[in-house]
Amino acid sequence: MAREQLEVLNALDAAKTQWYHFTAIVIAGMGFFTDAYDLFCISLVTKLLGRIYYHTDGSPTPGSLPPNLSAAVNGVAFCGTLSGQLFFGWLGDKLGRKKVYGMTLMLMVLCSIGSGLSFGHTAQSVMATLCFFRFWLGFGIGGDYPLSATIMSEYASKKTRGAFIAAVFAMQGFGILAGGMFAIIISAAFKTRFPAPAYAIDPLASTVPQADYVWRIILMFGALPAALTYYWRMKMPETARYTALVARNAKQAASDMSKVLHAEISENQATVDRYAGGQSNSFGLFSREFARRHGLHLLGTTATWFLLDIAFYSQNLFQKDIFSAIGWIPKAATMNALDEVYRIARAQTLIALCGTVPGYWFTVALIDIIGRFTIQVVGFVMMTTFMLGLAIPYKHWTTPGHHIGFIVMYGITFFFANFGPNSTTFIVPAEIFPARLRSTCHGISAASGKLGAIVGSFGFLYLAQNPNPALTDHGYPPGIGVRNALFVLAGCSLLGLCFTFLMPESKGKSLEEMSGENRDEEGA
């Protein structure tokens, strides 16, 4: 049986789209823009780091990061992100969304700058400080996931909530795009100013000393968008759902939302106490009642995000290796260091422009029309199909003249990851759990995703190596090859599809209806 709904929550659920919705999307979205830029820009410069710090005299190929170090540089931010998602997700439910939101942003600004200033007299010390700052950068980014999703879900009306949370997440696409475009601009500018021969012609001269500034500038640029939105983040009021249902302050919740919605809202403290103090709003995360009501939901959100991120991050971080394997990027020895950065960035930007960004915005447009469940099911089915389409005729795709077909298919798998589970796994955990556990449960789901990203980024690096020991990258053991690695990723997508059936459809329902907070004791 439904319980009487609080006036302030009713006002939010029924609110027409207003200016404050858009400002909230931009403020929360710029955090995600920065997150994506910071997480993915490292893949643009890892080959450059190898050339600068791990050059071997007399080697026929340019220097490259040793396998363990390459995995650490690529994956250490994910380890930080996983820790940050769990910690800040929990803190967001304890201290409030707004208080914690500013902390995560400052951490991101400071550690972006720190990453670019990585210092030391030896290659090892530079890499050690880089990994140190990348970990804490990831820690700050981790906090952004549960807080941005929770804030947007608690601000939005029930008719447009999916689109608004998806719009925040879609800023990731622009972050990836900005990373590629900025790397193109910086590498092109340095290439013009400091021309150098290809590695095959003169190994030492092919990496100009100024190349050391290029990766530092690219990494440090991530601090700018985060710093620009700090002031506005601090001006946002706490969400009414947190203030009313968790902090139980009726007057403050009504006052905050009256300003935001430009309407007179009053709230009775006794009603808030009765609403927030019932059995439906008192069980904890580790209680039998939570397991009964939301146990399968949490299993669904964590498992689908874990499986998706194995596939998604494997593909995203190692695009450069796949492009090299099919011959879309020339052999490293035929380019100088800055030319290689330029070509990797150009390839990544093209994929982002054609597959990644459109996928996100298709989700924004259609999620409140066709629902979360349908988008996630279709996304996983199409990802599985297209990965098998890449893997089965892999030899065909790698022969000259067929590279464009491979790139198109590869771009389509990205499109359906983003118009699919990459967006919905972020949205659904912000909608289906109770207010006092919402940020924590989103943090757990997101951390499970990052665990998948760690498996993907560390595992794919080794798995995709050629089975022939003579053809592996320097320092790597033989793997199962790109073709078989693609089969593994297709299998992950198929498993993700199975776990999707544990998640409820939240389209058009209020947050309290989804979480069961508006049911009285008999109805519960």
Which of 132-136, 145-149, 480-484 has the weakest average pLDDT?
Answer: 480-484
Which pLDDT value is given to residue 325?
A: 64
> What residues does 2 pair with on adjacent strands?
519
- Average pLDDT in the 339-361 region? 86
Q: What is the pLDDT of residues 283-322, one digit of tens each?
A: 889 999 999 999 999 999 999 999 999 988 777 555 655 6
Which pLDDT value is given to residue 2?
A: 45
C-alpha distances in angstroms, 80 versus 37, 87, 266, 357, 444?
16, 10, 42, 26, 14
Q: Would the pLDDT of 92 be above 60?
A: yes
Q: Would the pLDDT of 351 be above 90?
A: no
Q: Would the pLDDT of 108 be above 60?
A: yes
The sign of the dihedral angle between the CA atoms of 215, 220, 222, 225 is negative
C-alpha distances in angstroms, 361 versus 26, 168, 201, 444, 455?
15, 10, 45, 26, 28
| CA 82/CA 427 separation, integer angstroms | 18
Long-range Cβ contacts of 297-301 (<8 Å, 24+ apart): 297/432, 297/433, 297/502, 297/503, 297/504, 298/433, 298/441, 298/444, 298/445, 299/499, 299/502, 300/499, 300/500, 300/501, 300/502, 300/503, 301/425, 301/428, 301/429, 301/432, 301/441, 301/445, 301/448, 301/503
Which pLDDT value is given to residue 456?
A: 82
Who has greater pLDDT, 300 or 67?
300
Confidence of residue 449 (pLDDT cuts 50, 70, 90): very high
| CA 304/CA 423 separation, integer angstroms | 12
519 phi/psi in degrees, rounded to 5:
-95, 140
Q: Would the pLDDT of 146 be above 90?
A: yes
Who has greater pLDDT, 449 or 409?
449
Closest CA to 440 of 345, 307, 280, 301: 301
Which of 250-259, 489-498, 515-524 has the weakest average pLDDT?
Answer: 515-524
Q: What is the pLDDT of residues 389-415, one digit of tens each?
A: 988 998 887 777 777 787 788 778 888
- Most confident residue range from 238-247, 294-303, 458-467, 470-479: 294-303
Cβ-proximal residues to 122 (8 Å cutoff; 6+ apart), any chain? none
Which of 2-6, 13-17, 392-396, 444-448 has the weakest average pLDDT?
Answer: 2-6
Which pLDDT value is given to residue 308?
A: 95
Q: What is the pLDDT of residues 185-236, one digit of tens each?
A: 999 999 999 999 999 999 999 999 999 999 999 999 999 988 988 888 888 8
- Average pLDDT in the 258-265 region? 80
- Average pLDDT in the 100-120 region? 91
Q: What is the pLDDT of residues 240-250, one digit of tens each?
A: 889 888 888 88
Closest CA to 397 of 483, 493, 481, 489: 483
Pick the CATH number of 18-275+288-515 from 3.40.630.30, 1.10.3720.10, 1.20.1250.20, 1.10.150.120: 1.20.1250.20
Q: Would the pLDDT of 145 be above 90?
A: yes
Who has greater pLDDT, 194 or 263?
194
Cβ-proximal residues to 500 (8 Å cutoff; 6+ apart), any chain? 300, 304, 373, 376, 377, 380, 421
